[in-house]
Amino acid sequence: KSGFISIIGRPNVGKSTFLNRVIGQKIAIMSDKPQTTRNKVQGVFTQDTSQMIFIDTPGIHKPKHKLGDFMMKVAKNTLKEVDAILFMVNASEPIGAGDKMIIEMLQGNETPVFLVINKIDEIHPDEILAIIDSYKEQYDFAEIVPISALQGNNVERLLATLESYL
């Protein structure tokens, strides 16, 4: 199995930390994939049973930029081409208007969207379920996975779940 995965989320939610944890020293590919030149390949995770190519989706968090509409179109098309989307948020921060706009844009697409709730090490364990429930009430994600990219909690489970979508 192999597939493309886009990681999106506001600055500082932990996207790079997650990628570094998953890919670690195995980062090999620095060039763009030929057929998806607008997507920057950030890393490739290879294991016995699967290969996951993580890509960046530029522009998606700048809707107020003057190129906003164009960038959003590019981002939307990119997101249709991937096999799964990881939408990452910070467990200890409420989501903002930009996040909501992106979530709504992603709803109803065929590409499965995972809500990755990162930095769970910063909140009390009892809060995790309440956060998950509040997202579930409002939105329809393929999966909701709480993790700590920094400490590694639940990252293996996220990868295993992701694999089942490839």
Q: Which residues bind ligand GDP (CB under 6 A)?
A: 9, 11-17, 118-119, 121-122, 148-150
DSSP 26-62: G----SPPGGGTTSEEEEEEE-SS-EEEEEE-TTTT-
Taking the complex as a whole, the smallest distance from the CB of residue 49 to ligand GDP amounts, in Å, to 26
Q: Which single residue brings its beta carbon nearest to ligand GDP?
A: 14
Q: Which single residue brings its beta carbon nearest to Mg ion?
A: 16
Contact 152, 21 (CB under 8 A): yes
Scan residues 8-67 and list those touching Mg ion (CB under 5 A): 15-16
The partner in contact with residue 85, picked from ligand GDP, Mg ion, none with C-beta cut-offs of 5 to 8 angstroms by kind, is none
2-8 vs 40-46, strand pairing mode: unpaired
Could you list the beta-strand ranges (E) of 57-163: 84-90, 113-118, 143-146
Nearer to ligand GDP, 2 or 151 (CB): 151
113-118 vs 84-90, strand pairing mode: parallel
Nearer to Mg ion, 4 or 18 (CB): 18
* Residues annotated in a binding site for GTP: 9-16, 56-60, 118-121
